[in-house]
């Protein structure tokens, strides 16, 4: 990265977001990740128009003479499930559920965890004692039990699942960020900010947060695949997405017992979960490098 | 291992021959040569100093000899290193293990990080002894004790059972030396062995290395940036710069008549105690900082209820003032509370007493209430790398204080930043760069620009030049001086380096264990010290002149060993100062022990 050397002709800077996006697209791996994410978002938004078949129709054509599901190929691109429903269509529709869980619920967990961790880490003392004891409490609380209780009180729905996942998954993030913030807050450049007279909000968000981004990104992307699978567990228990509504997780769970006879029913949704996590991971890694000026020029 | 050495110590045949040694480091822009065709011989019993500033390749030389170059980034790209008849460049890792410690040993700069914190001193010593089969397992403890006695460690029996964190910095370095000498090596490589230590401890360690060298006939390769240490220790010197040999000469010749320009500038930049020009007499100007009875105590909590069980009395009843355009230097060894005073002035630590900055009392002010005070008093920290945010451009960081205080906005900020950069001798088009793109000296200039952005009246400079190379140090000191003359700044200059203080201070305050030992005009305190502690500090400073040997250190008479930690309810004995003349005040010397 060369730096503009002529102070007189200071060009108007393009917006930060555009610069970052441009950098992302220049890196092959990051661009690949972006394409995956874009395709999935597209599938989720336009699902009704791009589904090849009705995902809920249980047709006799979808089963062979013995009543077994059809393998991929022929009329059904990715084969059919045990009830003769088109797997491809169900996966496309399931993208909606899985994206909401993996991105929105996980995103809330990340924000919550990072927020609690950074606050406790910077202020220390009583603030930290209360926040971190609460974190430990949540960590010890069984997620499944919480989900079942909530589902019993309210209608079982995707929102409940998202809520439970957000409530359960922020704790690890909070722990990691807390420890990191504590060591960062002792560093001299934070001391300097205090000497200048910067307030806590400014120090937290302008000076501490950028240094924590890499941990947040790594933990955030790791969380995507675990939360997608956690959703499947919860749906399996009847707490979350109700059949016949598909999600990648519940497709795997419904069919795992038939893995040896109909492997495609587990393989394709599994592949999609891996791709989703991979996509976010690649973009996250690249973002971390782009946002760290000390790594400029290295790939 | 006690068999005879083929090469024979003390002989004239070189123990170590380095010929055309080159080291390359892989960088983004391809291989970079960090050491370029260096040649030297090292014979038994002599001390060769590799002197140079950061990036001169002196440490790389040591690592190359030890086979410890960071792989795969750095490699020996040419030349030969011969230890006796063995060529070390062709040696594999297994072969090297037999040579390290046994024939060539190394001591590092930071004794804390070079010792394993989870092992007692005894186990670490025994490990080396057994690894190289110096003695049998049953004899090892006895051998370890003998080694500690060799390095003159006090209470060696007790030290054996202690862990590194229980020892002081000087003791740790003695243990490191004991480990290095465990196998009676032919060559000892000392990489900045005293840089992290206090000056009195440094003097002791240098004495120890010299004594041991005489006893064992070891050849010492001394790597240092400190020309004072060079003058004191070396027989011959190689001056390195950017990986090339600038000059090689016997130590007296080098100091008397340096042949190259670089060696001349390097030697000229070395601050010499007692050679600083007289400073203009400060007449009675306005007092800008007034401190009365300042105390800072930190609680040590423990037990299951986290109650306060003891207090560190970091600063005890210190009073002083700084006048306009005046530099007050705070000097003392690590842990004496000098940095804490600086932090208290900016309200960064809780304190008791009274601090007035430009007439404004700062006691009891909240962080928000401190804002107007902080515009008058700012701080420049020790390590310019650590005190800058690596993820912000330097321009942003210089602007930040003005934003926080709402002093300017929009393009005005940019203009002001450009002006500040010019003020500290940097080019304004560097504003959009990040800290890692600057050298150490440039970074410290940025930090000074940042401190100046609020147009303060006082700057607390906390070891602000300690992390810099001598030539850069001189430039930064000049800059500070210039700013003082032009803008009428006052400084509280905190340092452990007597020679630097000699150069900048109008008045000097010597601290120990949180209390003032001696205070007064620079010439009175540094040329005519009265307190034994001040005398000891001054005597320990290495003299950058090989023809003059450092005066023997006065022993620690009248300076009792003590710690600033007291149980709750107890306080250290308050030391009264008595006036000698013209503001030269000295603590009464241990009246309790006759």
DSSP sequence for A14-25:
PPHHHHHHHHHH
Q: Measured between alpha carbons, how far is B98 from B481 in angstroms, rounded to an integer?
A: 53
What average pLDDT does the segment A210-227 reach? 85
CA distance B483 to B378: 14
Q: At B187, is the pLDDT very low, low, confident or very high (cuts 50, 70, 90)?
A: very high
What is the end-to-end Cα distance of chain B in Å, rounded? 51
Contact A231, A157 (CB under 8 A): no
Instruction: Say if CB B101 and CB B182 are below 8 A apart.
Output: yes
Most confident of A76-90, A247-261, B397-411, B447-461: B447-461
CB contact under 8 A, A196 and B391: no
Alpha-carbon distance values, B5 to B88, B135, B147, B173, B555 (Å): 17, 17, 21, 27, 39
Which class for B592: exposed (0-12), middle (13-18), buried (19 or more C-beta within 10 A)? Answer: exposed
Residues B469 and B398 grouped into a single domain: yes
The total number of residues written for chain B in this structure: 594
The CATH topology of domain A26-47+76-293 is MetI-like fold (1.10.3720)
User: Do both B311 and B388 map to the same domain?
Assistant: yes
Residues of B in contact with A193 (CB under 8 A): 400
Q: Note whether B248 and B325 are same-domain residues.
A: no
Does residue B200 lie within any of the structural domains? yes
Nearest Cα neighbor of B462 from B484, B444, B485, B439 is B444
Q: Please determine, for residue A6, whether its predicted confidence score (pLDDT) is greater than 50.
A: no
How many other CB atoms sit within 10 Å of the CB of residue B532? 19
CA–CA gap between residue B565 and residue B299 (Å, rounded) = 10
CA distance A128 to B299: 18
* CB-based contacts of B108, cutoff 8 Å, min separation 6: B114, B176, B191, B192, B193
**Cβ-contact A90, A245 below 8 angstroms:** no
pLDDT at B555: 66
Would you call A205 an interface residue with chain B, using a CB distance cutoff of 8 Å?
no
Residues 6+ apart with CB under 8 A from A143: A164, A168, A230
- CATH (domain of B364): 3.40.50.300
DSSP-derived letter for residue A293 is G
Please, what is the average pLDDT of chain B? 85
Instruction: Give the pLDDT confidence of B477-492 residue by residue, as tens digits.
Output: 999 999 998 888 999 9
How large is the average pLDDT for residues B17-34?
86
At B558 the pLDDT is 54
Query: Which residue from B368, B401, B428 is facing A196, i.e. has the nearest CB?
Result: B401
Q: Based on the fold, state whether residues B495 and B576 are members of the same structural domain.
A: yes
Q: Give residue-wise pLDDT tens across range B266-310.
A: 888 887 777 777 776 656 788 899 999 999 988 888 777 777 888
Cα–Cα distance, B482 to B417 (Å, whole number): 19
pLDDT in the model for residue B87: 86
Question: Domain for residue B280, yes or no?
Answer: no
Confidence of residue A5 (pLDDT cuts 50, 70, 90): very low
Interface subset of A 206-235, CB within 8 angstroms of B: 207, 210-211
> What are the structure tokens assigned to B191, written together?
């990489």
Q: Which of B374, B388, B436 is the closest to A189 by Cβ?
A: B388
pLDDT digits (tens, 9 = 90+) for B321-361: 999 989 999 998 887 888 899 999 998 889 999 999 998 99
**CA B154 distance to own-chain centroid:** 24
Judged by DSSP in three states, B7 sits in coil
Helix (H, G, I), strand (E, B) or coil at A224: helix
Answer yes or no: is B277 within a domain. Answer: no
Rounded CA-CA distance A47/B328 in Å is: 74
Tell me: pLDDT of A203 over 70.
yes
b/e burial code for range B484-496 (CB count within 10 A of at least 16 → b): beeeebbbbbbbb
Give the β-pairing of B507-512 and B490-495. unpaired
CA pair distance A243, A254, nearest whole angstrom: 10
Please indicate, yes or no, if residue B201 is contained in any of the structural domains.
Answer: yes
Q: What order do you get walking across the sheet with B86-87 strand by strand?
A: B30-43, B14-27, B74-83, B86-87
B403 and B292 together in one domain? yes
Cβ(B219)–Cβ(B46) under 8 Å? yes
pLDDT digits (tens, 9 = 90+) for A106-138: 999 999 999 999 999 999 888 999 999 999 988
More confident residue, B559 or A150: A150
Segment A176-200 shows an average pLDDT of 90
Judged by CB atoms within 8 Å, which residues 330-389 of B form the interface with A?
346, 348, 367-368, 370-371, 374, 378-379, 381-383, 386-389
Task: Note whether residue B44 is domain-resident.
Answer: yes
| B436/A294 touch (CB, cutoff 8 Å), yes or no | yes
Count of beta carbons in the 10 Å neighbourhood of residue B261: 10
Q: Is the peptide bond before B409 cis (omega within 30 degrees of 0)?
A: no
Check whether residue B395 and residue B257 sit in a common domain: no
pLDDT digits (tens, 9 = 90+) for A282-294: 888 888 888 877 7
Question: A7 and B428: CB-CB below 8 Å?
Answer: yes
* Whole-number Å distance between alpha carbons of B576 and B574: 6
* A chain contacts of residue B454, beta-carbon cutoff 8 Å: 196
Question: How many other C-beta atoms are found inside a 10 Å radius of the C-beta of residue A6?
Answer: 8
The pair phi, psi for residue A239, each rounded to 5°, is -90, -35
**Residue B6 within any structural domain of the chain:** no
Q: Is the pLDDT of residue B183 over 70?
A: yes
Cis peptide bond N-terminal to A244, omega within 30: yes
Q: Which residue from B367, B405, B433 is facing A3, i.e. has the nearest CB?
A: B433
pLDDT at A79: 82
pTM of the model: 0.80
CA distance linking residue A262 with residue A66, whole number of Å: 14
Tell me, what's the pLDDT at B560?
Answer: 59
| Chain B residues whose beta carbon lies within 8 Å of the beta carbon of residue A291 | 391
Q: Is residue B95 part of a domain?
A: yes
pLDDT category of residue B559 using cuts at 50, 70 and 90:
low
Nearest alpha carbon to residue A64 among A47, A46, A76: A76
Nearest to A224 by CA among A56, A91, A36: A36
Are both B298 and B425 inside the same structural domain? Answer: yes
B146 vs B140: CA distance, rounded Å = 10
The SS3 assignment for B203 reads helix
Nearest Cα neighbor of A195 from B493, B476, B432, B453 is B453
Sequence-distant contacts of A268-271: CB under 8 A, at least 24 apart: A268/A78, A268/A87, A268/A91, A269/A91, A269/A94
B380: confidence class by pLDDT, cuts 50, 70, 90: very high
Q: Are residues B264 and B293 in the same domain?
A: no
Which pLDDT value is given to residue B421?
92
Instruction: State mean pLDDT over A167-181.
Output: 91
**Segment (H or E) for B249:** strand B244-250
**pLDDT tens track for B490-543:** 999 999 888 888 888 999 999 988 889 999 998 889 888 888 888 888 888 888
B444 shares its domain with B542 = yes
Answer whether B348 sits within 8 Å of A189, measured CB to CB: no
Helix (H, G, I), strand (E, B) or coil at B423: helix
Q: In angstroms, rounded to a whole number, what is the distance separating the alpha carbons of residues B227 and B46?
A: 18
Residue with structure tokens 């068999």? B3
Helices (H) and strands (E) in chain A, counts: 13, 0
Range of the domain at B182: 14-269
User: If you ran DSSP here, which 8-state letter would residue A84 be given?
Assistant: S
Contacts of A3 in chain B (CB under 8 A): 429-430, 432-433, 437
Give the pair of three-digit tokens for residue B334.
Answer: 């690590």
Residue B317 dihedral angles phi and psi, to the nearest 5°: 45, 55
Give CA torsion, residues A223, A226, A229, A231, to 10 deg. Answer: -50
Lowest mean pLDDT among A48-52, B56-60, B69-73, B384-388: B69-73
Question: Checking DSSP bridges between strand B507-512 and strand B352-357, what pairing results, if any?
Answer: unpaired
- What is the reported pLDDT for A4? 40
CB atoms within 10 A of CB A289: 17
How many separate domains does chain B show? 2
| CB-CB under 8 Å, A211 with B378 | no
Q: Cα(B60)–Cα(B75) distance, rounded to whole angstroms?
A: 10
Interface touch A189/B387, C-beta < 8 Å: yes
Q: What is the pLDDT of residue A104?
A: 87
The pLDDT of residue A9 is above 50: no
pLDDT for residue B418 is more than 80: yes
Report, as an integer, the average pLDDT of A179-200. Answer: 89
pLDDT at B258 over 80: yes
Q: Does A193 touch chain B (CB under 8 A)?
A: yes
Tell me what the mean pLDDT of segment B438-464 comes to.
Answer: 91
Which residue shows structure tokens 């993208």? A95
What's the rounded Cα separation, in Å, for the pair B58 and B193?
Answer: 13
Question: Is there a domain that residue B5 lies in?
Answer: no
Same domain, B427 and B298: yes
Average pLDDT value for residue range B25-31: 80
Phi, psi for B360 (deg, rounded to 5): -95, 120
DSSP state of A73: B
Q: Is the ipTM of this complex over 0.90?
A: no
B323 and B459, same domain (yes or no): yes
Distance CA B379, CA B510 (A): 20
**Nearest CA among B178, B137, B181, B140 for reference residue B159:** B178
Which residues on adjacent β-strands are paired with residue B27?
B30
What confidence score (pLDDT) does residue B557 get?
55
Distance of CA B505 to the CA centre of its chain: 19
Residue B550, token pair as written in the block: 């450092």
**Chain A: residue whose CA lies nearest to B450:** A196
Q: How confident is the model at residue B575 (pLDDT cuts 50, 70, 90)?
A: confident
Is A11 touching B (CB cutoff 8 A)? no
Q: What is the DSSP string of B343-360?
A: HHHTT-S--EEEEEETTE
What is the separation, in whole angstroms, between the first and last Cα of chain A? 12
d(CA A272, CA A248): 8
Which of A98-112, A238-252, B1-15, B448-462 has the highest mean predicted lDDT (pLDDT)?
B448-462
Among B457, B462, B239, B439, which Cα is nearest to B332's?
Answer: B462
> Which residues of chain A make contact with B422, given a CB cutoff of 8 A?
none
Q: Which residue of B has its CA nearest to A200?
A: B367
């Amino acid at each position: 990265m060369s730096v503009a050397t002529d102070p007189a002709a200071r060009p108007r800077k393009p917006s930060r977001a555009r610069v970052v996006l441009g950098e992302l697209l220049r890196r092959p791996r990051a661009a690949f990740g972006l394409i995956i994410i874009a395709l999935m978002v597209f599938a989720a938004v336009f699902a009704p128009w791009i589904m090849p078949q009705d995902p809920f129709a249980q047709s006799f054509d979808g089963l062979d003479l013995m009543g077994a599901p059809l393998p991929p190929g022929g009329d059904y691109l990715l084969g059919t499930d045990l009830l003769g429903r088109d797997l491809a269509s169900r996966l496309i529709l399931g993208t909606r559920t899985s994206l909401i869980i993996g991105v929105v619920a996980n995103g809330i967990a990340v924000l919550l965890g990072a927020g609690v961790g950074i606050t406790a880490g910077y202020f220390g003392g009583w603030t930290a004692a209360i926040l971190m004891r609460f974190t430990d409490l949540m960590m010890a609380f069984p997620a499944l039990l919480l989900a079942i209780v909530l589902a019993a009180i309210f209608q079982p729905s995707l929102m409940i699942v998202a809520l439970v996942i957000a409530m359960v998954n922020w704790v690890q993030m909070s722990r990691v960020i807390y420890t990191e913030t504590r060591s960062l807050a002792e560093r001299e450049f934070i001391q300097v900010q205090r000497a200048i007279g910067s307030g806590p909000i400014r120090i937290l968000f302008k000076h501490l947060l950028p240094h924590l981004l890499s941990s947040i990104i790594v933990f955030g992307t790791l969380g995507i695949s675990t939360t997608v699978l956690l959703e499947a567990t919860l749906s399996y228990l009847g707490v979350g997405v109700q059949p016949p509504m598909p999600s990648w997780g519940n497709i795997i769970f419904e069919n795992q017992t038939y893995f040896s006879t109909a492997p495609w029913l587990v393989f394709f949704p599994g592949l999609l979960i891996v791709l989703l996590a991979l996509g976010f991971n690649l973009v996250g890694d690249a973002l971390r490098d782009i946002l760290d000026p000390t790594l400029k020029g290295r790939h | 291992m006690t068999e005879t050495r083929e090469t024979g110590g003390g002989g004239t045949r070189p123990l170590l021959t380095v010929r055309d040694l080159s080291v390359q480091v892989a960088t983004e822009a391809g291989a970079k040569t960090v050491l370029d065709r260096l040649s030297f011989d090292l014979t038994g019993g002599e001390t060769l100093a590799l002197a140079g500033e950061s990036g001169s390749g002196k440490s790389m030389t040591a690592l190359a000899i030890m086979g410890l170059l960071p792989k795969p980034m750095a490699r020996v790209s040419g030349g030969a290193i011969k230890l006796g008849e063995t060529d070390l460049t062709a040696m594999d890792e297994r072969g090297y293990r037999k040579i390290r410690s046994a024939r060539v040993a190394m001591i590092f700069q930071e004794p804390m990080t070079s010792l394993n914190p989870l092992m007692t001193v005894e186990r670490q010593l025994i490990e080396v002894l057994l690894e190289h089969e110096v003695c049998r397992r049953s004899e090892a403890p006895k051998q370890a004790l003998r080694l500690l006695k060799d390095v003159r460690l006090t209470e060696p029996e007790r030290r054996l059972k202690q862990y590194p964190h229980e020892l002081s910095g000087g003791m740790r370095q003695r243990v490191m030396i004991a480990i290095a000498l465990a196998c009676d090596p032919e060559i000892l490589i000392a990489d900045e062995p005293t840089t992290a230590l206090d000056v009195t401890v440094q003097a002791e360690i240098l004495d120890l290395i010299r004594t041991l060298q005489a006893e064992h006939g070891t050849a010492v390769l001394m790597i240092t940036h400190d020309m004072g240490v060079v003058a004191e220790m070396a027989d011959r010197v190689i001056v390195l710069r950017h990986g090339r040999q600038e000059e090689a000469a016997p130590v007296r010749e080098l100091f008397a008549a340096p042949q190259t320009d670089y060696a001349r500038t390097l030697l000229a930049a070395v601050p010499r105690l007692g050679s600083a020009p007289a400073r203009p007499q400060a007449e009675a100007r306005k007092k800008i900082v007034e401190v009365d009875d300042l105390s800072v105590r930190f609680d040590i909590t423990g037990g299951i209820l986290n109650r306060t069980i003891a207090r560190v009395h970091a600063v005890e009843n210190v009073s002083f003032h700084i006048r306009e355009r005046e530099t007050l230097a705070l000097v003392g060894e690590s842990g004496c509370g000098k940095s804490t005073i600086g932090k208290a002035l900016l309200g960064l630590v809780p304190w008791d007493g009274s601090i007035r900055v430009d007439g404004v009392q700062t006691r009891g002010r909240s962080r928000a209430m401190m804002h107007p005070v902080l515009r008058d008093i700012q701080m420049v920290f020790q390590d310019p790398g650590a005190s800058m945010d690596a993820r912000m451009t330097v321009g942003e960081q210089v602007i930040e204080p003005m934003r926080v205080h709402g002093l300017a906005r929009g393009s005005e900020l940019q203009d002001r930043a450009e002006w500040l950069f010019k003020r500290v001798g940097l080019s304004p088009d560097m504003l959009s760069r990040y800290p890692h793109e600057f050298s150490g000296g440039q970074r410290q200039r940025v930090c000074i620009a940042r401190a100046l952005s609020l147009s303060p009246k006082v700057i607390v400079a906390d070891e602000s030049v300690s992390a810099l190379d001598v030539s850069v140090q001189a430039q930064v000191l000049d800059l500070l001086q210039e700013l003082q003359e032009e803008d009428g700044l006052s400084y509280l200059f905190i340092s452990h380096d007597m020679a630097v203080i000699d150069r900048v201070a109008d008045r000097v305050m010597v601290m120990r264990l949180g209390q003032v030992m001696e205070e007064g005009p620079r010439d009175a305190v540094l040329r005519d010290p009265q307190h034994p502690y001040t005398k000891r500090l001054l005597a320990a400073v290495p003299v950058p002149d090989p023809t003059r040997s450092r005066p023997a250190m006065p022993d620690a008479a009248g300076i009792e060993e003590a710690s600033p930690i007291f149980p709750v309810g107890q306080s250290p004995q308050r030391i009264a100062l008595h006036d000698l003349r013209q503001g030269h005040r000295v603590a009464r010397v241990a009246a309790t022990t006759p």
